[in-house]
């Protein structure tokens, strides 16, 4: 049987062609409209800023030892009046955080007479009881190491201590970071040798908890912990008592202030307790040192001196050194390296309380 021949498809009618053209035209118009909207949107967003944005601002803070601190800020766009009004409204909203998150307190209470400082600390910190009275109790003494003639410390007998004790002749010394009392006992001995009259009061601010891993490094220098108590405060007090430097000893009085540096300095500021000489040797990272230096400067008497340790320590990317350099630049002070220590120029008398 012969196969049937394949007939050609029928030609589309004119009405079908009109339908195809209508759909094609709609598709082309839709694409064109989308492109136009995208172009207009890009143009309007670019009008929020100038055609050539400002280059990043670079702030160079340089000290005498060629230490440089570079802070790079993001470029600030030029806002239209409408956006400026909107930004002002948003800034005034109470839901935003305060603008002074990095601002530290610089004004403290009126200074109390220095003759009342020890009594104020005893009353405020120890509820009126001398912490060295009857210390140590028998059960505590059994947990402590024998007091060392020279407790463990770092740079605790550097020449900077004698230089500053002799030149400043402080009546009140505040030490941030005491550990086992090496620096405090050395300053008390210097006061005796320099015939201080009256003898100075040395306030040692430390939480006396140590830091993670310290016991493995200094196993021979610290007592074993007891029920999660590091016993560093008790060992510190034992070393001070053995060195005849406790409160009421007749010589320089070394008194612990067993709190974090931040909370202790805020309290001293509220109580009107100021130091003539303040040593900063607590946290060694930039942020801890920066906070300690700012808070300590607030309770430094005009004419007093702020100094500290670890100016050349590289283990934490010289965090202390960067904090000291920045603070000196902000306050217009000079930094004098002194061995392992740093010393700021005296606080100007214009910086009153």
pTM metric for this prediction: 0.71
3-state secondary structure of 352: coil
245: buried, middle or exposed (CB in 10 Å: 19+, 13-18, 0-12)?
buried
Task: Tell me how far apart the alpha carbons of residues 257 and 177 are, in angstroms, rounded to a whole number.
Answer: 10
143: buried, middle or exposed (CB in 10 Å: 19+, 13-18, 0-12)?
middle
Task: Tell me how far apart the alpha carbons of residues 83 and 235 are, in angstroms, rounded to a whole number.
Answer: 62
Task: Tell me how far apart the alpha carbons of residues 246 and 290 are, in angstroms, rounded to a whole number.
Answer: 31
Per-residue pLDDT for the chain (353 aa), expressed as one digit of tens each? 444 455 555 555 566 656 666 676 766 666 666 666 665 555 444 444 444 444 444 444 444 443 434 444 444 445 566 655 655 555 454 454 455 556 788 899 999 999 999 999 999 999 999 999 999 999 999 999 998 777 877 777 889 999 999 999 999 999 999 999 999 999 999 999 999 999 999 999 999 998 888 888 888 888 898 998 889 999 999 999 988 755 555 557 999 999 999 999 999 999 999 999 999 999 989 999 999 999 999 999 999 999 999 988 777 778 999 999 999 999 999 999 999 899 999 999 876 55
Q: Tokens for 166?
A: 């002799």
3-state secondary structure of 61: strand
CA angle 249, 198, 169 (to 5 degrees): 115
Q: What is the pLDDT of residue 215?
A: 80
Q: What is the pLDDT of residue 61?
A: 41
Task: Tell me how far apart the alpha carbons of residues 114 and 93 are, in angstroms, rounded to a whole number.
Answer: 45
Domains assigned to the chain:
114-344 (3.40.50.150)
Under 8 Å between Cβ of 199 and 191: yes
Location of structure tokens 């601010």 = 205
Q: What is the pLDDT of residue 46?
A: 45
Task: Tell me how far apart the alpha carbons of residues 292 and 10 are, in angstroms, rounded to a whole number.
Answer: 93
Q: What is the pLDDT of residue 312?
A: 86
Q: What is the pLDDT of residue 316?
A: 74
Task: Tell me how far apart the alpha carbons of residues 178 and 190 are, in angstroms, rounded to a whole number.
Answer: 17
């Amino acid at each position: 049987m012969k196969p049937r021949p394949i007939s050609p498809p029928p030609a589309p009618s004119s009405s079908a062609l009109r339908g195809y053209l209508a759909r094609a035209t709609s598709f082309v118009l839709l694409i064109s409209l989308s492109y136009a909207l995208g172009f207009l949107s890009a143009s309007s967003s670019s009008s929020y800023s100038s055609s050539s944005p400002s280059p990043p601002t670079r702030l160079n803070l340089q000290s005498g030892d060629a230490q440089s601190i570079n802070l790079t800020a993001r470029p600030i766009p030029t806002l239209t009046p409408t956006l400026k009004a909107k930004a002002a409204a948003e800034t005034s909203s109470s839901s935003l955080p305060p603008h002074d998150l990095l601002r530290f307190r610089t004004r403290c209470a009126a200074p109390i007479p220095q003759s009342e400082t020890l009594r104020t600390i005893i009353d405020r910190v120890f509820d009126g009881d001398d912490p060295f009275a009857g210390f140590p109790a028998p059960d505590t003494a059994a947990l402590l190491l024998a007091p060392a003639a020279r407790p463990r410390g770092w740079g605790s007998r550097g020449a900077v201590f004698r230089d500053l004790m002799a030149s400043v002749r402080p009546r009140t010394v505040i030490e941030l970071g005491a550990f086992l009392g090496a620096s405090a006992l050395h300053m008390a001995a210097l006061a005796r040798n320099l015939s201080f009259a009256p003898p100075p009061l040395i306030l040692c601010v430390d939480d006396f908890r140590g830091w993670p891993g310290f016991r493995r490094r200094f196993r021979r220098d610290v007592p074993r912990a007891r029920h999660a108590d590091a016993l560093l405060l008790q060992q510190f007090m034992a070393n001070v008592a053995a060195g005849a430097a406790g409160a009421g000893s007749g010589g320089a009085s070394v008194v612990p202030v067993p709190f974090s540096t931040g909370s202790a300095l805020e309290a001293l500021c509220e109580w009107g307790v100021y130091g003539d000489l303040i040593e900063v040797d607590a946290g060694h990272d930039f942020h801890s040192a920066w906070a300690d230096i700012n808070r300590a400067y607030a309770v430094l008497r005009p004419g007093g001196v702020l100094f500290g340790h670890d100016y050349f320590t590289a283990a934490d990317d010289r965090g202390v050194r960067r904090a000291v350099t920045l603070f000196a630049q902000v306050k217009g002070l000079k930094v004098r390296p002194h061995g392992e220590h740093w010393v700021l120029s005296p606080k100007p008398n214009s910086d009153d309380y």
